[in-house]
Each structure stands twice: as structure tokens, then as C-alpha cells.
Structure 1
Amino acid sequence: MIAALVALPAVVTALPGAGGLAGWGPVVQVIPFRGVLVVALLLTAVGVLCVAEVAALLRRSRAQSTSPSRSRARNGPAAVLAGGLALAAALHGAVLVARGVAPAADVPRVAGDVVVVSLNTEFGGSSGAQIAAAVSAADADVVVLPETPQMLAQRAADALPRSYQVFTATTSPQPNHATSLLVAADLGTAAPAAAPRVTLAAVAATVPSLPGPVVAVHPLAPVPVGGAVEQWRVEVPRAVAACADAPGAIVAGDFNTTLDHPGLRDLGPCVDAAASSGAGGLGTWPSIAPALLAAPIDHVLVDDRTWRVLSTRVVVVGDSDHRGLVVHLRRR
């Protein structure tokens, strides 16, 4: 019974949305790393069985009268605990596979398609030249750059063969409190638009040739200090509403949130591009970790009534601690 009670919380972590656990510490900080949890839970299960077997061998060596059946009975709680841990690992792995770990291959562009690049540049972790190279390789029409001051965004734009308008919002002098948005000039003259209010800055624009606004967002991370979790609970829904409340919208950036967290569990008419195209299980932060072990906290949300997601690629750009997303969209 005790072993089962110990194993139960591990199983529950695999389905945190069911009980609203994903919005509260420490689950809010741990659940983004499902890949790590798979490895940790499996290793722990193996460790429990190994320790139980060693203990059984020691008991038999000390008391030759102990029967094998009795030894196996004593190992029963360990087997229950290990089984629960293995089940939790399997559930976490199943969620990752369901969201996608093998992205769909891209298809050739046609007129009217839109390519979006979203990259948290970590203020110089990706240089202007590196950003420009990634944008050029993707032939991106819209580029979302959290933690990117106007000077760095302009440097990237100046290095590109296509002409881009640059929009930047800042909420403080700190470099990570700046979010920039690049819009290809051949889409038409873009105009600033209302953006959701978030601590780390958001910026938006309307574009004549696009059916809805393009919005770059960067909600606060749910770190367990200074009321950040409470503020995060407010800011993520604001970012999601920028998509859900605006027909045809494209909203992208570093959400500091996964699809397990409350803020992204209800997207209304919008969808997560990565999950829609077989890449939702691949993490974007930190970039030094394998994508299967990293946290998928960067997202591109689009109005599913207007846009069809053709592909999503996860890319490394320079030394930024985030991977970037390259999303290919086509109008329905």
C-alpha cells in the first residue's frame, strides 16, 4: 500500500492538467521537462528494483532458512513502486510522441504562403549576422525576436537581402525586456497595433496583405520568487487572447509556457503550430540540451480558421540559449 501511494504522485505528474497541478509549484517548473522525467523515472525504477534485489540477497545470506517465495514477497512493494514509476515514464513519453517528435517535411512555397521565424536571441547570444542568416535561409516573412533590442533587430534587418520593417517594444532598460518584430516590406506597409501587456515586452503590427495582426510576445517566466508565478498566470492568457480574439492572427514568441500549463490548455480557435505539424514534443530551451530533453516553451499560435500549418522546424541560431522555430503557413 505504501509503495502504491509513493508511486501514485509520479503517475499523476504525467497528466498534470487533469487536476490543475501544472499551474502550481513545483509542478509548474518541472512539467516542461517531460523528456528528462522519462529518463529520471526509468532510472529510478531500475534503481528501486536493484536495491530490492540486493537487499533480498543479503537477507538470504544471513538467514539460510528464508525461502525464495518469502524473498519474492518482500520484493513485492519494490515491484509495485518500480511499476508505478515505469508507468509514469511511459505516460510522459506517450505525451511527447503524441505532440510530435518527428516534424512533417516542408513543402514548396506558393503565392500567399507565410513563413514565421520565432527566436529568443538572448540579447546577443544570436548575433545580427546569425539572425539574418537564419531568416534568409527560411525566407521568412515575419520574424519574432524576444530579448532583442531595436539596435540588434535593425542590424539583422540591414544584413538581409529583403527589406524589413522593424518594430520594437521595451519595458525597461534591461536587454531582456525588449521584444522586436520584423515584417517583410513586400507584404505592404505595416502599422503598429495594440499588443498585450506583459513584463518582458510585446509588440504587434497590422499588415495589409495579411488577414490578421502579427504579434510578438514574451510573458514572464514562472520562477518561484517575487510573485513571478502569479504574474505569469496573468500574462500568458493575455498573450493567448491576442490570437483567440483576433481573426487571422499570428502570435509568436517565448511564452515561458508549455501546452501542459493552464495558460495554453485552451487556445480557443487557435492552434499551436509545432503540435499541429508533428514537432510539439521537441524542446526549445535550453538549446544546449537535446531537443527531446529540453522544454518546449517557445510557440507560434495561429488562427486555425484562417491558417493551415504546413511544417515546423526547430533550429539553433548562434549561441542563444533558445532554439528557434520556423513555421510555414498557408491560408485556408
Structure 2
Amino acid sequence: MGRWVSWLLVIPFAVFAALRLSSWTPTWRWASIVAFTPYVAAASLIPLLVALILQRWPAALAALATTAVFALIVMPRAIPNGNPPAHGMRLRVLASNVSGGQADAVSLVKLVRELHPDVLTIQELTREEAQRLDQAGLRSFLPHSVDRSAPAQGSGIYSRLPLTEQPMIELGGFRQARATINGVEIVSVHPCSPSDVHDTPCWSQGLRALPRAGGPLRVLAGDFNSTLDHPPLRHLLSSGYRDAADVKGQGLRPTWPQRFWNVPPFTLDHVLADHRIAVEDFKVLPLTGTDHHPVFAALRLP
């Protein structure tokens, strides 16, 4: 009986680990399930302990191998990485999903005043929220902008420096603003959420539509609706980006939801920088009125 119990506990975790290592999506629900990888990794210790207690050595060995795979996947996010040599301009980037214009504009402008970002990317920016930000004094800190606000899924880019607008990425009504600032392309990232079978293709297409690394320097900042365990985001990173949180050993810091909801917290908001760019600092910040934490990265250009 103990043998079967051990294997019944081990097998689901082993299958999960194998699917996570692959890029195969067996069902559209996998796009949501794979976000639980850090939690499943921690829980994978349970079948190992059970097998050891029951002295079921083959099952214990399989459980140990499964836990080791999860550790190799997850633990590097908590270990700071080095940086490439970079001696150019500093670029301070703040990204915030304002939850359909519900975030407190005064609090967001206060963050801008305290952090002194060169660039602010906003997701779910409505026209009303853009007006409230103007009234709260955002333009006194970041006078230049690309406004792609919309009733629900708009976005925007605000900058301390002059910028040049680039063609917007729009899929499923989600508007991802783009601009070039001092030769660096900035994208306010917000693809669809993979919440159901109809939105999952829109989500993957929205991530695939983001510019790959290589050529001009690029920084992608915003709500990716993806963790580092989602294949489309992993493919994007493999083109030559680095996740700022991961570089600073904060890749397991959750960004959504801010308050307890009906799911555990996940890391959905990211700042991705070209691999030639150094990451000097990273922060996850509070903001009232929205379900997402803003994220901040201090970058150094080559």
C-alpha cells in the first residue's frame, strides 16, 4: 500500500515538471496552471518526505529528481546575476497597470516624484485616468508622452526626455504603446490575459508581436500577463532580453494581485532589458486603487 501511495504522490509532480521543461501546451488551461510552478516546486517536497518516511527508495529517488528539476527551474530567480560592462546613460523605468483607470493618480505621481523615473509605462490607461494624472502634476516630471488610452485596454508612455512614437501593437483590443527615447525603444507591454480558451491565442500572439532583442536597444516594461514559466515569455527572453527582477535576485517577488483575491500572488509585471543593458536596481512597489504592484528598474546603457 505504501508503495502505491508514494508513486501516486510522485507522478503528478514529475509530469508537471516534464511539461514545464517542454514548450508543449497540452490544453489552453495549461497557460494558467503553469503559473503555479513556484508553488508546485515547494509542494514537491511532500512526496519526497512521504517516500522517505515509508522507505520507498525508488519512489524517493524519483521524487528527489523531480524536486531537483524544480529547484533548477525556480531557484535561479532568487540568486542575483552579474551585469555586462555598461558605462552609458542611466535609464530609470517605472511600469504600472492602473486597473482600468482605478489607480489613485495622486499616489502614482507621488511615486514618480520619489523615484525620478526617466520613463513611465502605463497599462489599462483610460482617457479619464490620463486627465487625472495631468491634474495631479505628472507632466511637470514627465512632460513628453505617447497617449494610447482607451476605455478599457489602453496604454501610454510618459518620458522626461523627448520621444518619437512608433507603431502601436494592437491585438484583441489591447493597445501596447511604443516609442523611441535617445535611441532606445520602449514598449508599454500588455497582451491579453489567457483566462479562457478564446483569449489564449490573443495572449500568445500579443507576446509574439513584441519586438525581439537584437539590433537597437530595447526595454519592454509592463503587465505581461505571464510569469517566467510561460513558454511565450521564455521564448521572448531567449531572443536576448534579461528580466530585471531575475537579474537582481527578486524574480519570485509577486506583482499581482496586490490584495488577497481568489488566487495566490504571481509575478506578472516585468521590465525586460536588452542583454547589453546593466540592471542596477529593481523594486516592487505599492499603489492604491489597482490590483497590480508597479515595478521599477534602474538601468545603465552600454
From 156, 167, 182, the equivalent of 1:180 is 156
* 1:216 equivalent in structure 2: 188
Matched, 1:283 2:259: no
User: What's the secondary structure of 1:321's corresponding residue?
Assistant: coil
* 1:201 equivalent in structure 2: 175
Q: Aligned-pair RMSD on alpha carbons?
A: 3.2
**1:273–1:15 distance in 2 versus 1, CA, 3 Å:** farther
* 1:259 equivalent in structure 2: 228
**1:124–1:197 distance in 2 versus 1, CA, 3 Å:** closer
* 1:126 equivalent in structure 2: 103
**What does 1:217-256 align with in structure 2 at a 5 Å threshold?**
217-225=189-197, 227-239=198-210, 242-244=211-213, 247-256=216-225
Deviation at 1:151, TM superposition (A): 3.0
**Which region of structure 1 is more displaced relative to structure 2, 148-157 or 271-280?**
148-157
**What does 1:41-60 align with in structure 2 at a 5 Å threshold?**
41-42=44-45
**1:288–1:155 distance in 2 versus 1, CA, 3 Å:** same
**1:90–1:313 distance in 2 versus 1, CA, 3 Å:** farther
* 2:133 equivalent in structure 1: 156
Deviation at 1:169, TM superposition (A): 2.0
User: What's the secondary structure of 1:33's corresponding residue?
Assistant: helix
Deviation at 1:323, TM superposition (A): 1.3
- Counting matched residue pairs gives 288
**1:103–1:303 distance in 2 versus 1, CA, 3 Å:** closer
* 2:279 equivalent in structure 1: 309
Deviation at 1:113, TM superposition (A): 0.7
Contact 2:20/2:34 (8 A) holds in 1: no
Query: Amino acid of the residue matched to residue 214 of structure 1?
Result: I
Deviation at 1:280, TM superposition (A): 1.5
* 1:67 equivalent in structure 2: none
For 1:174-210, what per-residue CA distance to the aligned partner results, in whole angstroms no more than 9, with x for missing partners?
x2x11121111xx22x222113233321111122xx2
For 1:34-54, what per-residue CA distance to the aligned partner results, in whole angstroms no more than 9, with x for missing partners?
3432454456777x68xxx9x
Matched, 1:167 2:146: yes
**1:12–1:311 distance in 2 versus 1, CA, 3 Å:** farther
CA distance in 2, matches of 1:243, 1:150: 30
**What does 1:71-86 align with in structure 2 at a 5 Å threshold?**
75=54
Contact 1:101/1:282 (8 A) holds in 2: no
Contact 1:150/1:180 (8 A) holds in 2: no
Deviation at 1:6, TM superposition (A): 5.2
Query: Amino acid of the residue matched to residue 30 of structure 1?
Result: I
Deviation at 1:328, TM superposition (A): 0.4
For 1:221-271, what per-residue CA distance to the aligned partner results, in whole angstroms no more than 9, with x for missing partners?
11133x2112222211112xx242651111111111122212122331222
CA distance in 2, matches of 1:255, 1:232: 9
Unaligned runs of at least 5 residues, structure 2:
none
TM, length-normalised to structure 1 = 0.74
How many percent identity over aligned positions? 24
Contact 1:35/1:294 (8 A) holds in 2: no
Deviation at 1:91, TM superposition (A): 4.5
User: What's the secondary structure of 2:75's corresponding residue?
Assistant: helix
* 2:22 equivalent in structure 1: 19
Deviation at 1:304, TM superposition (A): 1.8
TM, length-normalised to structure 2 = 0.81
From 10, 13, 32, the equivalent of 1:10 is 13
User: What's the secondary structure of 1:122's corresponding residue?
Assistant: coil
CA distance in 1, matches of 2:99, 2:213: 28
Contact 1:198/1:218 (8 A) holds in 2: no
